[in-house]
Amino acid sequence: MLKRQNPSAPEHRRDLAADGGALSMSHNDSRSFFNLSQLVLSAGQIKPSPALKHSKITYFEVEIVDVQSKKQICIVDKVPPASTLLDVKHKFHKACPQWYPSRVGLQLERNGPFLKDSVSIQSLAVSSIVTLYFTDLGQQVGWTTFFLTEYTGPLLIYLLFYIRLSTIYDQVESRKNFRHPVVHLACFCHCLHYIRHLLETLFVHKFSEGHTPLKNMIKGCAFYWGFTSWIAYYINHPRYTPPSFGHKQVSYAALAFLMCEAGNHFINVALAHQTNSGNRTCFPSPTYNPFTWLFLLVSCPNYTYEAGSWISFTVMTQTLPVGIFAFLMVIQMSLWAQKKHKVYLKRFYPEVRRKAAMIPIIF
């Protein structure tokens, strides 16, 4: 029989030590894990370490290129991401003092639209370098100055003709001929129209862009001032003849004129105080004021009332120059109304979908 061999003492001790060591390590690990768990539970949630702030700030470089020659004019460097296009124009003005901000037109593409001053540089950037095309917009004037100049002229010019200056009319003929009441009424209505425009320019209207080319103001003044001189000359002439249907024609036309003036004012006030729903501006809706009910039919009732004013003034005075002026104004306001109607369709599609631009019934 073969005897079972017992391991030698050193080997036996080594095996026991190995087994014991493994057991002791396992026991220590479990105790360590238990102690760590107790520590976490007693301390609460483990707070994340605060994120390190980036010390490096990203800047953009804006390259200004002439739209005609494609040559680089300058580079505006160190533009923060939050900067707007107006900030870039001010920095560009410092580099090139002859180009003040209101005269600078910037485009992202050569044939693209001019960018608004409120556009952020970060929204235009594809890389750290932004290329913009420069166009000289010419001499600029503010919108308030534009309208005040355009409307003050007709007001003063008409009064000069109304008092019948000796340099305009024959004084002997002026004293001999009696003024018909419609002449005084026409002066009142004409002055009321332009005084309303001036007051609304100062206290009602809100202008989005700050400037317009000076040549536009010159053309506007030439149109309004020239026609006012022609209209005032005939209405205030000593040989002016009253309307064919007399008092009734004058009275009804004057009443229609005053109603259109009131309606135009209330519409402009409603447009200046458009309501906001969340982040979206809502199209003005009719109120208890009957003059605002025209919003149900057209999207630009202010032009409708303006056209009505001049048509009523034409009927009231029965003068050819007024008729020509009213005809041109209706055409011009129809074009403006169509342009605004397209903008309204994009912004307020469900509300203006079934409305006309300026003239009711014509959709």
Round to whole Å and give the CA distance between 298 and 316.
Answer: 26
Round to whole Å and give the CA distance between 302 and 308.
Answer: 10
Give me 33's structure tokens.
């894990």
Q: What is the pLDDT of residue 276?
A: 59
The ranges assigned to domains in the chain are 60-138, 141-241, 242-362
Each residue's pLDDT expressed in tens, for the chain with a length of 363 residues: 334 444 444 444 444 344 444 434 444 554 554 454 454 444 444 444 443 343 344 789 999 999 999 999 999 998 998 899 999 999 999 999 998 898 999 999 988 899 988 899 888 888 888 999 999 999 999 999 999 999 999 999 999 999 998 889 988 888 877 889 999 999 999 999 999 999 999 999 988 667 899 999 999 999 999 999 999 999 999 999 999 999 999 999 999 999 999 999 999 999 988 765 555 677 788 889 999 999 999 999 999 999 999 999 999 999 999 999 999 999 999 999 999 989 888 888 777 777 889 988 754
Round to whole Å and give the CA distance between 28 and 21.
Answer: 10
Q: What is the pLDDT of residue 274?
A: 77
Query: How remote is the C-alpha of 71 from its chain's centroid?
Result: 32
Round to whole Å and give the CA distance between 308 and 253.
Answer: 10
Round to whole Å and give the CA distance between 179 and 256.
Answer: 23
Phi then psi for 8, rounded to 5 degrees? -70, 160
Strand locations in 31-114, DSSP E?
A: 60-66, 72-79, 104-107
Tell me the residue type at 325.
F
Give me 71's structure tokens.
């040559």
Q: What is the pLDDT of residue 280?
A: 61
Give me 40's structure tokens.
């976490």
- pTM comes to 0.77
User: Based on the number of CB atoms within 10 Å of its own CB, is 300 exposed (0-12), middle (13-18) or buried (19 or more)?
Assistant: buried
- Residue that the structure tokens 């990203």 belong to: 58
Q: What is the pLDDT of residue 20?
A: 45
Q: What is the pLDDT of residue 268?
A: 95
C-alpha closest to that of 253 among 297, 162, 319: 319
Class of domain 60-138: alpha beta
Round to whole Å and give the CA distance between 212 and 242.
Answer: 41
